[in-house]
Structure 1
Amino acid sequence: MKLFGVAGDPILHSRSPDLFNGGFSAISFDGRYLLLASSSAKEAIAVAKEIGFSGLNITSPFKEEAFRLVDEVEDVAKEVEAVNTVVFSEGRARGLNTDVEGVRGALLENGVPLSGKRIAVLGAGGSARAACYALSSYGRVSILNRTLDRAVSIAEKFGGDAYGPGGWELLREMDIIVLCLPIEPPIPASVLRPGQTILNANYSKAWTFEDRARIQGVKLIDGREWLFFQALRPFELFTSSEAPKGALREALCRPRRISGLICLCGFMGSGKTTVGKVLAERLNMPFVDIDERIERKTGRTVEEIFERDGEHTFRRLEEEEIRRMKDMEKAVVAVGG
């Protein structure tokens, strides 16, 4: 079985596992896509390599850091200076950026013409950089960010105009507004008007301005559209198969339920077992400690296995135990440190 995942902070809201696992099932692909909680892109990529992931998607706020960490980068990612997909092969990590496809697909496939339109991008992270790159070929893009210097840097890179926190009134003139922000901005009702389109990259929850925007005739495009279109190329790279678009959409729109395996990774003594037991109890899921399973099977402690047979033997036993769990419907799992 091949392993894949998505890393970011926060990450529990991500619908990527639903999308990819639904697609894997549709084409009978022997793979599993997981959430990878981590505090940095460096940690996420290191853990993914250690576990043996074949591919990893990167979400906010790790995309720019991931760009600096991979061994090789495709041309689009070089221009954007951000990576949202990492493919592992022969010990090397190749970085790609498919957010560009996500932005264009979300707008064009929802009937939004781009040529000649006045466009604003809010934010200055990796997603915002991808949006500016994707849309700059259609016209001059205005970048709004609370830190003006970062907006200026992106504007200079992609040939746009930069505005700081006081640029809200500018939005009234915009035909298309792309939100690339972790929290809801204080968009004044006065800048919303009929005929505008707003694409929000953040789909974790509904924002308060959305109902008001609909009433005022604004077209809203859900961030899951961006997620869907940016996932098509990674899916095909991960599986070497054509993406089953219908199955992917169905999986993405299906109501969420807590199922599958929640794996806790970390150094020895970092609290995986303690946290795992609490999490399992709250989610009403069984808890599995891989170390305990290995000790019961071998009749020796983890320390004894390390001392007598070395770490490579323990890691082999650990991998065997993890693979035996692939058919469990749900569980919280603490893996070895």
Structure 2
Amino acid sequence: MENEILLGVAGLPVLHSKSPLMFEAIFKTLKLKGSYIRLCAKNAEEIARIFRELKFNGMNITAPFKEKIFHHINFPSNDAKALGSVNTVIADNEALRGENTDIFGVTEPLLLRLKSLKGKNCLVLGAGGAGIAAAYGLRQNGADVIILNKFQEEGQGAAKKTDSRFANLYMLSSLIKDADVVINTIPYEAGSLDISNIKKGAIFFDATYKKSHYRNLAEGLQFSFIGGEEWLIHQGIHACRHFLNFCPERQLLENALNQQKENPSIISLVGFMASGKSSTGVALAQRLNFDFVDTDAIIENKMNMTIREIFEKFGEEKFREIESSVLLELSDRKNLVLSCGGGIILREENRKFLKEKTIPFWLYTSMEETLKRVNDDSRPLLKNISSSEELNVMFERRKNLYASLYGTLIVSTEDPTKTAELIYEEIRLSL
């Protein structure tokens, strides 16, 4: 499993991302062994570190890190340089290469509807990384662009960078009367804007795909609405080209996004030994007002033996059988935080359960941090490990199995309440 492809998306929040659905479909189509996970990152430095430690092949970058990650890129493309923003990072030996495919996420859906963007009056709402990419792509196609932003300095900087004009956001109601295209990059959480003066027949393109304030207004106000899923698909096609040298069909990705299922009500915590799963799980369950279950604790109670004693008396294979049966017994539970033993992912049926029946979070610590934390004799598999190199080999064998759950990776801190709070916020904001 060493040669499996590892891709992902980094952001804060990131649990809402539908990119894993698209790339799972791509892997299946290409018959490739690979995984695509979410990385709940605290900062751009952490993204670059995790990228290298886990040997990612590529990673998409979403808010709020598109501009911040730029400073960690060794080889940015010309478009990325012009924008000072990267949404696609590719491994290049030990270096990082950066691209910006958001440009295509904006322009290609519009060009499917309009023969040309040349001379079109376009408004871009918001001056963050997505807004800058939108304005840049529109200008590259000959459109007349005004960036509207609440904060003047930020908006003027974005306008200068993209050869666009700037106006304050309060001018929207008057400027929107003449706009052929409106691109909204302002997050849903910021609230809705008054677009009642929008021109009949205009196109309103909302970058957010979690929810939209504007989708249901289209029929009444007689404008065409484009949802953020199309932006996601088209930038994803070009990201895939950089990651895998393959351009998937648009229909493949549309079908993948339409297959999203209802979110399970079990939150599972997986990860290598000493990653803080149990202590984080207790804190998270309290925060969510969920029940808490630890698979190792259930097994010890069931067998009236410690995990080490079970290994010594019955062996690992028997322990894994018991572990699988315990997991299956939990399938009907609701509102549950489930802390899993580090090796639970070794069995395929367990991975299937965790991927399909739970929302998995992978608690990750570096090998250096793991070695600091492993200081007791309660872990049976450490009995036969005599060096940090052997421990690292064990982790490398399991890394792709953790990733195969298509879950969300969170770097586990020494304070489990902080890790639990990060997970809680992901759940609160994304589900």
User: In structure 1, which of residues 202, 208, 216 is the aligned counterpart of residue 221 of structure 2?
Assistant: 216
Aligned to 2:87: 84
Aligned to 2:210: 204
Q: Give the AA of the match of 1:204.
A: K
Aligned to 1:318: 395
Aligned to 1:8: 11
Q: Give the AA of the match of 1:313.
A: E
1:4-34, Cα deviation, whole Å (9 max, x unpaired): 1001111111110001111111111111000
User: In structure 1, which of residues 145, 159, 165 is the aligned counterpart of residue 163 of structure 2?
Assistant: 159
Aligned to 2:31: 28
Q: Give the AA of the match of 2:164.
A: G
- For residues 44-83 of structure 1, the aligned pairs below 5 Å read 44-83=47-86
Is 1:139 paired with 2:143? yes
Contact 1:290 1:333 (C-alpha < 8 Å) held by counterparts = no
Between the aligned partners of 1:10 and 1:327, the Cα distance in structure 2 is 21
Aligned to 2:387: 309
Aligned to 1:246: 251
Aligned to 2:329: none
Name the SS for the 1:116 alignment partner.
Answer: coil
Q: Which moved more, 1:235-244 or 1:33-42?
A: 235-244
Q: Give the AA of the match of 1:213.
A: A
Between the aligned partners of 2:179 and 2:156, the Cα distance in structure 1 is 19
Higher relative contact order (CA 8 A, sep 6+): 2
Unaligned runs of 5+ in 2: 286-291, 294-333, 347-373, 414-431
1:276-325, Cα deviation, whole Å (9 max, x unpaired): 4657866658543438999333337xxxx6xx513x33222112133455
User: In structure 2, which of residues 165, 172, 181 is the aligned counterpart of residue 168 of structure 1?
Assistant: 172
User: In structure 2, which of residues 340, 350, 362 is the aligned counterpart of residue 288 of structure 1?
Assistant: 340
Label 1:162 to 1:150 Cα distance change in 2 as closer, same or farther (>3 A). Answer: same
Q: How many residues align?
A: 326
Contact 2:20 2:37 (C-alpha < 8 Å) held by counterparts = yes
- Report the Cα offset of residue 193 of structure 1: 3.1
CA-based RMSD of the aligned residues comes to 3.2
Contact 2:196 2:221 (C-alpha < 8 Å) held by counterparts = no
Q: Give the AA of the match of 2:397.
A: E
Between the aligned partners of 2:410 and 2:218, the Cα distance in structure 1 is 45
Q: Give the AA of the match of 1:87.
A: I
1:134-182, Cα deviation, whole Å (9 max, x unpaired): 0013232100011111111121222221112321221222110001112
Between the aligned partners of 2:242 and 2:387, the Cα distance in structure 1 is 38
TM-score by length of 2: 0.68
1:17-73, Cα deviation, whole Å (9 max, x unpaired): 001111111111111000111112221221121111110000111000111111110
1:208-254, Cα deviation, whole Å (9 max, x unpaired): x3322331101110101011010112212222334243322210222
Contact 1:100 1:130 (C-alpha < 8 Å) held by counterparts = yes
Between the aligned partners of 1:234 and 1:263, the Cα distance in structure 2 is 29
Aligned to 1:234: 239
Is 1:298 paired with 2:382? yes
TM-score by length of 1: 0.85
Between the aligned partners of 1:57 and 1:265, the Cα distance in structure 2 is 22
Unaligned runs of 5+ in 1: none
Name the SS for the 2:280 alignment partner.
Answer: helix
Label 1:22 to 1:147 Cα distance change in 2 as closer, same or farther (>3 A). Answer: same
1:170-202, Cα deviation, whole Å (9 max, x unpaired): 122211000111235542243223111111111
Between the aligned partners of 1:263 and 1:24, the Cα distance in structure 2 is 25
CA radius of gyration, larger in: 2
Between the aligned partners of 1:255 and 1:178, the Cα distance in structure 2 is 26
Contact 2:201 2:222 (C-alpha < 8 Å) held by counterparts = yes
Q: Give the AA of the match of 1:214.
A: E
Contact 1:18 1:252 (C-alpha < 8 Å) held by counterparts = yes
Aligned to 1:188: 194
Q: Give the AA of the match of 2:83.
A: V
Contact 1:5 1:56 (C-alpha < 8 Å) held by counterparts = yes
Identity %: 27
